[in-house]
Structure 1
Amino acid sequence: MAHHPQSSAASQPDLYRDTWVRYLGYANEVGESFRALVPKVVVWATYGVSTAYVTADAADKGQKAAEANRDGPGRRADITVAVVDTFVWQALASVAIPGFTINRLCAGSLYMMGRITRWPLPVRKWTTTAIGLAAIPVIIKPIDRSVDFLLDSSLRKFYGTQANKPDESETK
């Protein structure tokens, strides 16, 4: 799998993919896991954190593309591709698809527990939260691979490169 654009110092860790900062991309999944226990505004705030992470990563990859091609031909196109590819990939793989997946998993588990158990509502809500949190590490790689396939089959055909595709070991 292709690696994301690197800065001129290839050994330098990527702030958004190689450090604790990448965990900010998980904020909305955590928020969805706690949806049954916290006010909706808290859940929406976690989407704000994840979206800020996605936007910052895209801007960072655009900056790295600009530095890698200071005066070369196609500089503007390289920057645009880096920003768009990173933003779309991260928006789908880090925010939209996992947020929806955890939301539906939690809603379904809360509903089913209400139908098949006699557990008190607070126990069902905490169990739903635990199920959501436990599912986060399980859904990451399949979603990443699916988004890679989706973008490789669509958007990336328009700009004819996979050079900016995030390496799944370096995302989120």
Structure 2
Amino acid sequence: EGSMGPSEEKTVDIYRDTWVRFLGYANEVGEAFRALVPVSFVWGSYAVATAYVTADAVDKGKKAAVAHGDNPGKTTRVAVAVVDTFVWQALASVIIPGFTINRVCAASLYLLGKSTKWPLPVRKWTTTAIGLSTIPFIITPIDRSVDFLLDSSLRKVYNDGKKHE
């Protein structure tokens, strides 16, 4: 944001600006399919999302190391970049949306069971469709909420004044 120089503004961040970002949503897709697939598939989707979160955190740490060269406080800056990215991504890409889709699907399956006479396979596929269609609507509110949460807590501790983007 404010700390970027003119030449850096157009740099593409593969973890934020490309299809790679969707790997962070793998677990939401896994949760949406929970009613239809073995639970190992769901856990595998969490492994993909966690690998994405970890890779992004390492990438931001490397970028912080390069940006701060041999300046004093470099280690702290790198640690802050890694921790901030990891915590933000873990909450915004894995934990909160995974829980949200899990509950939306559980509630959908339950309500379809109570309110329809549809056969179980139809209810399960409908639940999956509901879960998948919910994903685009939860991303922005969750991202904004995690920004607010971290700005109000963890970021006050290291007070580097920069927002996560």
TM-score class normalised by the smaller sequence: over 0.9
**Mapped partners of 1:18, 1:92: distance in 2:** 19
RMSD (Å), alpha carbons = 1.6
Q: Does 1:129 align with 2:134?
A: no
* Contact kept in structure 2, 1:98 and 1:140, CA below 8 Å: yes
The alignment partner of 1:36 has SS state of coil
- In the alignment of these two chains, the number of paired residues is 164
Give 1:116 deviation, angstroms.
Answer: 0.5
Give 1:31 deviation, angstroms.
Answer: 0.2
Q: For each residue in 1:97-136, what CA deviation from the matched residue of structure 2 results, as whole angstroms up to 9, or x when unmatched? A: 0000000000000000000100000000000000000000
**Mapped partners of 1:149, 1:110: distance in 2:** 32
**Mapped partners of 1:92, 1:3: distance in 2:** 24
Moved over 2 A (4+): 2-6, 8-12
**Equivalent position amino acid for 2:138 in 1:** I
**Mapped partners of 2:8, 2:110: distance in 1:** 51
Higher helix share: 2
Residue equivalent to 1:170: none
**Mapped partners of 1:125, 1:157: distance in 2:** 44
**Mapped partners of 1:146, 1:115: distance in 2:** 33
Matches within 5 A, 1:35-50: 35-50=34-49
Give 1:78 deviation, angstroms.
Answer: 0.6
Structure number with greater CO (CA < 8 Å, separation at least 6) is 1
**Mapped partners of 2:85, 2:52: distance in 1:** 11
Residue equivalent to 1:166: 164
Give 1:73 deviation, angstroms.
Answer: 1.3
- Compared CA separation, residues 107 and 156, structure 1 to 2 (3 A): same
* Contact kept in structure 2, 1:5 and 1:65, CA below 8 Å: no
Give 1:3 deviation, angstroms.
Answer: 7.1
Identity of aligned residues (%): 69
**Equivalent position amino acid for 1:62 in 2:** G
